[in-house]
Each structure stands twice: as structure tokens, then as C-alpha cells.
Structure 1
């Protein structure tokens, strides 16, 4: 109450001012360090709701809470996690049935094993004007409610639960804080098709590096056995993937490998028809090492 009195303002505005003071160097206590880390919420991960009787509020999406825990403590099940839940089903009024869930959340903080608890609930059987209806999601909703209530105890989404999201100025401040910087437009790479990310045929033809098309053809002629050809196909398949060869260059490589394979198996032909002029690559383990795209 001393903070409110000193600022002489409404609670929501006072909390906003206190937050701004923290940013300007107001000392946070050691006891609230974790709370302060987890307590600010991205408005993009909240949603407004209205309950019976006209009550309005702001709900935090559960996945946001889980992400905040993961950011601070590590993957769920490793740096933090949820203990085995306990459910209790009790009768309500007018033949309705309620389910309550008690769940614990554990986490490792500063070399210590810590645990907090939360309780959540929902209706398994609801009474409507049309009669009684069951809800097969009730246990899941009660469990989620229990877990997120436990996370409140260490400050996750504290600004929402403290009513600070009732202040539009505070919400805008949080929106600015969590706003992503606009992505830089990727620079166009010379010799790369911007739609496919593949090297252009022109760039490959002009390539003077050690792994260009001329080098492929030279190594192909040096392959004098089928095992040597298989090794060559595997090696150049990796090169094609690394250098982003376009699909038609990979298809051409398959064709050349098939031609060479037929020569190694059948020998040079006696007529003018060169084997492999119209090769088939279906089921060919040697050529299939080159995967299109």
C-alpha cells in the first residue's frame, strides 16, 4: 500500500509506474528476482473473456506459460515438469458433476529442487435448458487450470493476475516490449534462383571450382568398375545437395551415370547407338543417389 500512497494514483497506474521505475534502475529484491523474470506477459498470447454475470477478464494462453517456464528452466521433464495429478469428482447442484484437480509443478532453480501446487476445476456434467450434457474435455481443462494456477505461485503471468492488463497504457507498453523486429529482406544471391534456392544452370556452367560439372564428367570417365561408379554417385549426390544443383542438372547426372554403368556392364557398342541415350532411372541404385530437388 505504501507504493500506492506515495504515487497517489489508481492501483493499475501505480503498478505501471513501479514497473517503469524497475527499468530505470529501481533495485529488485533477491526474493522477487524469479517473479520479475516471469511476471511480464506478451499481449499476443492473451485473450479476453466474459463470464456469466458480465464479469470480464484476460486469460493467458497455457502454451505461453509453458514456454516461459521452458525459457527459464529448460525443456519440460528436464528443468521443470508436472507431478502426477490427483482428480476428485464430486456431485454439484441440479445433478451436475464437478471435477477438481490438484497438480504440482517442480523446477530446478539455483541448484535447488523446488515445487509448487495448484488446484483447478471444471464441470463434467452440465445442466442446460435442453437437459444434462457431459464434457469429455473436463478432466483436461481441470488439469490445465491446476497447472497454470500453480505457475502463478512463482510469478508466471503475474501482471495479468494483478490486474495490470486492465490498463491500456500498460498493455501497449508490453506490446512494444514483445514486438518482433521486422525481418530483414533477404539479399539476392548471385547465381541462385530466389524461388527455389537452387543454383542456376548458368552459374553451374561458369563454376570454376573443384566440384564443377567438368570435374564430374572427368571423374565419371575414371570410374572403371561398378563399385567405383557407386562410390562416385554417392559422393556427387552429396555435392549436388550441398551446392543446390537444380533438378534438371541432377537428372542429367543420373543420365550420365546410367550411360557409364551400361558401358561398364555391357562394354562399348559396335554400332552408332550410344547406350543410355534414353536411360531409365527407375530402380537404379546408382543413379537414384541423385535425388531431384
Structure 2
């Protein structure tokens, strides 16, 4: 039963890094997902939009936000209030002959103050709809690695990129061999750096960084090699401390 419940999630939880980009929203750094790529993935799972899945707009409105001002002191004047576009959709899909529905909201700034003065975004309704669709798909597990914060770990992203490079390579064997050599080169460089450590704390820091990277790559032999080097080098610093 558990495997059946996670069937969709397991198919769609990993995000293709080709269709992501870093973005800043409200001063916060995020991973932005390409809406068309998510629709393409949904088509792969459910079938064409409008047949295997789709959405209906339930509600659409403009919400008043904070008051905007220009100038300072006696010259300060009101520019009116910000407006945010909000949309509510019912996202539906068909799975094994059964219809499922998810309600979600999408929001986008429509009228706001920028460094150029008051600005309106004519694309706000389209952006809100895309936002709502992406949020609905996320409830089914689409791009779960992004929503779970796993993309914040650079090691996870690098491992995902490596796996996808093999899947998308014209010569898969050549790409596998390239990555094998890259792995060996990395382990050698990590060991060399540890051997050049001047303090025990530096040694442990280099060890921990290498282990994090190799663990993200699910490279257990590599982790063991780094751990062995730590065990070999640590006594030297302990002896120096004792002396």
C-alpha cells in the first residue's frame, strides 16, 4: 500500500537541473522552477493537458497591499496602495481511471513601487496561474527535492547533475568513464589536502567537507577512504599536542 501511495511521488520528486535557475524573491534566494517543464513532466505521468490533467479557475481577484509613498518629510506623498493578483484553481488529474482534485492559490505582485516609481506587471495573471499550477503539482511530489530544500545543498545538486549527464549523454559509457576519473581525481585531491593540514582542526574540516560531498554522491568506498586517512593522520597531531 505504501509503495502504491508513493508511486507518483517516486516518479517526479527529482528535478531536472536544466530547467531551474536561481532567483531572488523578497530578498530571499530561491530555486525557480520552469513551469513548462513541470507541465511536460505531468504530461509524461498523466497524459496530455485537458485529457489526463488540467485546471479550472475558481476565483480571481486583486488584493490591496501596503500603501506606497514617495519623497520625505513635507514632500512625502501617497502613491496609493500596492495591488497583488491572486488566483484560486482546482487542479484535476486522472489516475487509474479515478479523478483527483487539488485546490491551490497563486499570487503575483501587480502594482508595486520599484526604483523606477510605481510599476505594473501586465503578466501578473499568467504568472499567478503558473504559480498555482506548480504548487498543485508539488502536492503530488513534483520537484519535491526543491520544495524540501535539498537544492540548497550544493553536493546534492552536483550529484543530480552527474546522474542526469549520464542519462542525457550521447555516449553513456564515455560519460560514466569520465565521471569515474573525476571521482578518483577528487578523492586524491582531498587526501592530498588532508596530508597537508597543519592542525587537527584543519584536518577534521577537510575530512568533513569531503565526506559530505561523497555522501551526497552515495560513494561509500570514497567515504571509507577519507575516514581511513583521518585515522592515519590524527595520531600525529595528538602526539604533537602531548609533546
**Shorter-chain TM-score: what band?**
0.5 to 0.7
- Please tell me the root mean square deviation across aligned C-alpha atoms, in Å: 2.0
1:134 is aligned to 120
Is 1:76–2:49 an aligned residue pair?
yes
Q: Deviations over 1:118-144 (max 9, x none)?
A: 111112111234432221111111111
1:44 is aligned to 18
Q: Distance in 2 between matches of 1:163 and 1:52?
A: 17
| Structure with the greater alpha carbon radius of gyration | 1
Gaps of 5+ in 1: 1-26, 185-293
Q: Deviations over 1:191-214 (max 9, x none)?
A: xxxxxxxxxxxxxxxxxxxxxxxx
2:221 is aligned to none
Q: Deviations over 1:14-53 (max 9, x none)?
A: xxxxxxxxxxxxx963221211111111111111112343
* SS across alignment from 1:132: strand
Structure with the bigger percentage of helix? 2
What TM-score results when the alignment is normalised by the length of structure 2?
Answer: 0.60
- Structure 1 residues 190-201: aligned runs within 5 Å: none
Is 1:31–2:17 an aligned residue pair?
no
Aligned residue pairs, count:
157
1:96 is aligned to 82
Q: Deviations over 1:224-249 (max 9, x none)?
A: xxxxxxxxxxxxxxxxxxxxxxxxxx
CA gap 1:128/1:59 in 2 versus in 1, 3 angstroms: closer
Q: Deviations over 1:60-91 (max 9, x none)?
A: 11111101100011111111111135211121
Gaps of 5+ in 2: 68-80, 173-243
Between 1 and 2, higher relative CO (CA 8 Å, sep ≥ 6) is seen in 2
Is 1:123–2:97 an aligned residue pair?
no
* SS across alignment from 2:6: helix
